[in-house]
Amino acid sequence: MLLDKLEWRYAAKKMDPAKQVPADKLERILEAIRLTPTSSGLQQFEVLVITNKEIREKIKAIAWNQAQVVDGSHLLVFAAWDTYTAERINEMFDRVNEERGVHNEGWENYRRMLLNTYPQRDPEVNFQHAARQAYIALGTAMAAAAFEEVDCTPMEGFDPDKLDEILGLRALGLRSAVIMPLGYRDAAGDWLVNLKKVRRSRDTMFRFID
Ligand SMILES: Cc1cc2nc3c(=O)[nH]c(=O)nc-3n(C[C@H](O)[C@H](O)[C@H](O)COP(=O)(O)O)c2cc1C
């Protein structure tokens, strides 16, 4: 059951560097990211999958020295579009038309509406919107990792400008939003692993309006 896996998962603080996430599990986690829904279906981010130890050491140094960055076997970097351009918007609409093989006037009106709105906006507003979509994928990735019984640590604790520099993201029209090491918990070395999962009560979280 999904809820059992969500109880099992936690933001691992110490990962075992000797353990490797198997290729089939990684592929399924990445496929879950690819299937994540996004606003207008634009999929306005890319995910870098980094195994290179040297690069991960450099990233660790600008990520509060969080050991999971190198002790996990893979580091996912969710990098969002730096802005919306007509080209980026058209690419998605054209691909949908091609793959579905249909032409729909409502769909084309929707394309025109986005083209008349997004590219003209402040790039920072566009990046923030794109980054929110990357976070949806982060959520899917956390759930998918839990489903595969792979540990992960979602991380905002890093310097995004420095990470962009290390990975050359700006030249690709991308900016880092959030990162996530994947690996296996080092149960003996992790202070958090046996602590109770603490969440707000249902009463304080949900307002039912009948
Ligand atoms: C977007 C995001 C950023 C986070 N950044 C960090 C981080 O940089 N380092 C860390 O150890 N945990 C980080 N966390 C983990 C949270 O503190 C953790 O998920 C939360 O306290 C709930 O605990 P649990 O995930 O262990 O159930 C982050 C979580 C999210 C969702």
- Count CB-CB contacts under 10 A for residue 115: 16
Measure CA of the first residue to CA of the last residue in the chain; give whole Å.
29
Which of 19, 58, 36 lies closest to 182 in space, CA to CA?
A: 19
Q: What is the 3-state secondary structure (H, E, C) of 119-156?
A: CCCCHHHHHHHHHHHHHHHHHHHHHHHHHCCCEECCEC
Q: What is the pTM of this model?
A: 0.97
Q: How far apart are CA 131 and CA 143, in angstroms?
A: 19
CA quadruple 51, 39, 4, 1: dihedral sign:
negative
- 24-53 pLDDT, tens digit each: 999 999 999 999 999 999 999 999 999 999
- 114-166 pLDDT, tens digit each: 999 999 999 999 999 999 999 999 999 999 999 999 999 999 999 999 999 99
State what percent of residues in the chain have pLDDT above 90.
99
Residue that is written with structure tokens 């007509």 in the block:
86
For ligand 1, atom 16, the nearest C-alpha belongs to 11
Q: Which pLDDT value is given to residue 153?
A: 98
The answer to whether residue 103 scores a pLDDT higher than 90 is no
CA quadruple 143, 145, 148, 151: dihedral sign:
negative
Q: How far apart are CA 123 and CA 41, in angstroms?
A: 19
**39 alpha carbon – ligand 1 mean position (Å):** 24
The answer to whether residue 94 scores a pLDDT higher than 90 is yes
Indicate the average pLDDT of the chain.
97
- Pocket flag, ligand 1, residue 45 (CB < 6 Å): no
State what percent of residues in the chain have pLDDT above 70.
100
- Pocket flag, ligand 1, residue 153 (CB < 6 Å): yes
Asked if 50 and 77 touch (Cβ cutoff 8 Å), the reply is yes
Ligand 1 pocket mutation pick from 64, 71, 155, 191 by most atoms within 8 angstroms of CB? 155
The answer to whether residue 78 scores a pLDDT higher than 90 is yes
E-strand stretches of 44-188? 45-50, 74-81, 151-152, 174-183
Which of 33, 8, 50 lies closest to 144 in space, CA to CA?
A: 33
The answer to whether residue 198 scores a pLDDT higher than 90 is yes
- Pocket flag, ligand 1, residue 146 (CB < 6 Å): no
For ligand 1, atom 11, the nearest C-alpha belongs to 13
